[in-house]
Amino acid sequence: MALLVLLASFSLWAAFGISRFSSISSPGAFPMVCAAAMVITAILSLGGSLRKSGPEETGQSGLRRFVTHVMPIRLVLFSAALVGYMLLLETVGFLAASYVYLLVSMRILGSRQLGKNALISLVVLAGVFLVFRTAFSVVLPAGTLLGPYTPELLK
């Protein structure tokens, strides 16, 4: 909870840096309100955690309880996949990075059917691409590595 208070406080400081709260309609006003709400709720949660009695004895070490309750391996793997996706997005482009991310995340979340996952990922990605490309006219990154070899239709 203390770490959450620190992260929320950093978010508030970063939001303040956007426009220094020059007016209620400034670009940083909404992020500051959201970050302030995060700080307040994090402080309230920290206070509640401090008032609670210690955990009942389970025979597990503190690190083991932390790993099983706060940072289960599935969460760690999913977070690593998300970071990998962000890193690959600019290099290999939206389509390739998103397809790999969808496949990997389905596997992490427990699906063992590779063929079905591949098809679902393809259909979902095609739908997202069509909506963003045609309905919203958003140019999705083609990637520096694969972009020169990507057909114009998919850029």
The pTM of this model reads: 0.59
Q: Which of 111, 110, 92 is nearest to 100 (CA)?
A: 92
Do 49 and 77 reside in the same domain of the chain?
A: no
d(CA 15, CA 7): 12
In the structure, what pLDDT confidence band is assigned to residue 57 with cuts at 50, 70 and 90? Answer: low
Do 77 and 150 reside in the same domain of the chain?
A: yes
Residue-wise pLDDT tens digits, 119-147:
999 999 999 999 988 888 888 888 888 77
Do 109 and 137 reside in the same domain of the chain?
A: yes
Domain that holds residue 108: 73-154
In the chain, % of residues over pLDDT 70: 93
Residue-wise pLDDT tens digits, 89-116:
989 999 999 999 999 999 999 999 999 9
What total number of domains does the chain contain?
2
In the structure, what pLDDT confidence band is assigned to residue 150 with cuts at 50, 70 and 90? Answer: confident
